[in-house]
């Protein structure tokens, strides 16, 4: 056991940077699938390179592979009509997690979203990370980007694949049960809810080619609203507390709670170099401005803050002590903010391997040194009054939102 999370030996883990590399790996695996494909994503867009994934799912279902796709009702409220027809014709099964309905997000219980990005193929190969099925060079709100967004995923083989498959299967049957219950198909709904608690013995296809890679210790972290409410936050806290030399965290939406903030401050006070790579380009009012009021205490403690300005930062990764005897790294979908840590379904992979940690560390340091701007104490404290006012308003709104959900953070 490492930092409170059971890690298992024998995993093959590969770091993937960017949507293009992720789509290439995903499409290649989908085209080799023989038995079943399970995919979950917050956003499934149909522009540019993302269409290649849709086409690969269509091809897989067309040759008899069971293909199950779950998307979030906010991130992907509907499919384009063309793809509804194409998926239906091919046999791609499609479910929407928590559709918004008439009142939408005015109902606080609907703020609990499906934010994880997972895929399991034939029960042998898994993908996990922060990358949506969304072209790197395109943003639904901002159009074409000058540079691709920065994001990461991993491909994995080993015990965590089964863990991932089980949680995805449970969610699939629960969504189906809720849909049937709303349609007053109560006997069918009861069967679906019972199925959600069954371990399904998926047939192992054995069709995917397995590369020769170094075997490492790894595990799957989940956050949900039942059994795993605080697993990801606890893992971060324990890893930060165990760090002795260096911490590098890259997080798109960064508004950690008091415990994580204090853990980072205590790490800096005991001599650990702490560097944060955060969003430097304005994307959403709440996420951008609500994060900035916590900068002051972190900067005062000697924590380095760098804002990524080359494009949009979408990464949710961290690496600690990569050059020492207890390396720790994580790649996944969870931001360090209340939406991820208190409300959303999230998934991260944790890796305890020096080579992997060093690879991730090298890429983050490159982004810090060449694609970011440092935030100085003086610059931050002397920012224009209207920006500080927006920061306070956003922070207050975030606290109000948490109050309405009944959460403390």
Q: Which of 45, 122, 224, 353 is catalytic?
A: 122
pLDDT at 96: 95
Would residue 245 show up in a list of annotated catalytic residues for this protein?
no
List the chain domain ranges. 12-196, 216-405
Full-model pTM = 0.91
Would residue 238 show up in a list of annotated catalytic residues for this protein?
no
Query: Which run of H or E residues covers position 11?
Result: strand 8-17
Domain 216-405 is of which CATH architecture? 2-Layer Sandwich (3.30)
Would residue 122 show up in a list of annotated catalytic residues for this protein?
yes
pLDDT at 389: 79
pLDDT at 68: 97
Would residue 136 show up in a list of annotated catalytic residues for this protein?
no
Helices (H) and strands (E) in the chain, counts: 13, 17
pLDDT at 238: 97
Q: Helices marked H in 214-353 — which ranges? A: 231-242, 258-269, 285-291, 295-300, 338
Q: Which of 11, 36, 115, 163 is catalytic?
A: 115
Q: Which of 3, 217, 289, 316 is catalytic?
A: 316
CATH superfamily, region 12-196: Endonuclease Chain A (3.30.870.10)
Would 12-196 and 216-405 be classified into the same CATH topology? yes
Furthest-apart CA atoms within the chain: distance in Å: 64
Q: What is the mean pLDDT of each run of 10 residues along the chain (409 residues)?
A: 68 97 98 97 97 98 97 94 97 94 80 96 98 96 94 97 95 84 68 62 52 78 90 97 98 94 98 97 80 90 97 97 97 95 95 97 98 87 77 81 74
How far apart, in whole angstroms, are the C-alpha atoms of residue 152 and residue 257? 24
Would residue 224 show up in a list of annotated catalytic residues for this protein?
no
Pairing of strands 138-139, 246-251: unpaired
Would residue 72 show up in a list of annotated catalytic residues for this protein?
no
The answer to whether residues 301 and 270 touch, using CB atoms and an 8 Å cutoff, is no
Would you state the structure tokens that stand for residue 203, as one six-digit string?
A: 């047939």
pLDDT at 216: 94
Q: Which of 117, 163, 289, 306 is catalytic?
A: 117
């Amino acid at each position: 056991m490492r930092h409170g999370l059971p890690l298992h030996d024998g995993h093959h883990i590969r770091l993937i940077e960017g949507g293009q590399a992720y789509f290439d790996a995903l499409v290649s695996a989908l085209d080799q699938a023989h038995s079943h494909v399970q995919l979950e994503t917050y956003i499934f867009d149909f522009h540019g390179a993302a269409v290649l994934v849709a086409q690969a799912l269509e091809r897989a279902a067309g040759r008899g592979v069971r293909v199950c796709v779950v998307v979030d009702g906010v991130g992907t409220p509907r499919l384009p009509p063309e793809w509804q027809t194409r998926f239906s014709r091919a046999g791609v099964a499609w479910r929407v997690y928590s559709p918004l309905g008439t009142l939408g997000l005015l109902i606080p219980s609907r703020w609990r979203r499906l934010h994880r990005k997972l895929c399991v193929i034939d029960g042998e190969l898994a993908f996990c990370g922060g990358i949506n099925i969304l072209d790197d060079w395109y943003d639904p709100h901002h159009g074409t980007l000058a540079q691709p967004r920065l994001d990461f995923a991993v491909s994995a083989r080993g015990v965590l694949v089964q863990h991932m498959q089980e949680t995805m299967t449970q969610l699939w049957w629960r969504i189906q049960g809720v849909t049937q219950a709303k349609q007053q198909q109560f006997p069918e709904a009861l069967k679906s809810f019972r199925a959600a608690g069954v371990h399904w013995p998926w047939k192992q296809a054995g069709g995917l080619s397995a590369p020769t890679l170094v075997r490492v210790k790894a595990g799957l972290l989940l956050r949900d609203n039942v059994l795993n409410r605080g697993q990801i936050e606890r893992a971060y806290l324990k890893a930060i507390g165990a760090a002795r030399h260096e911490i590098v965290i890259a997080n798109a939406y960064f508004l950690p709670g008091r415990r994580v903030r204090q853990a980072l401050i205590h790490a800096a006070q005991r001599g650990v170099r702490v560097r944060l790579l955060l969003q430097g380009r304005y994307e959403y009012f709440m996420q951008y401005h609500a994060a900035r009021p916590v900068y002051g205490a972190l900067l005062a403690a000697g924590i380095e803050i760098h804002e990524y300005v080359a494009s949009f930062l979408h990464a949710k990764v961290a690496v600690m002590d990569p050059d020492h005897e207890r390396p720790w790294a994580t790649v996944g979908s969870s931001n360090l903010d209340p939406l991820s840590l208190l409300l959303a379904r999230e998934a991260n992979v944790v890796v305890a391997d020096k080579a992997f940690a060093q690879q991730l560390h090298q890429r983050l340091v490159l982004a810090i040194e060449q694609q970011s701007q440092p935030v100085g104490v003086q610059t931050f404290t002397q920012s224009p009054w209207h920006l500080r006012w927006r920061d306070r308003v956003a922070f207050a709104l975030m606290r109000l939102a948490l109050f309405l959900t009944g959460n403390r953070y």
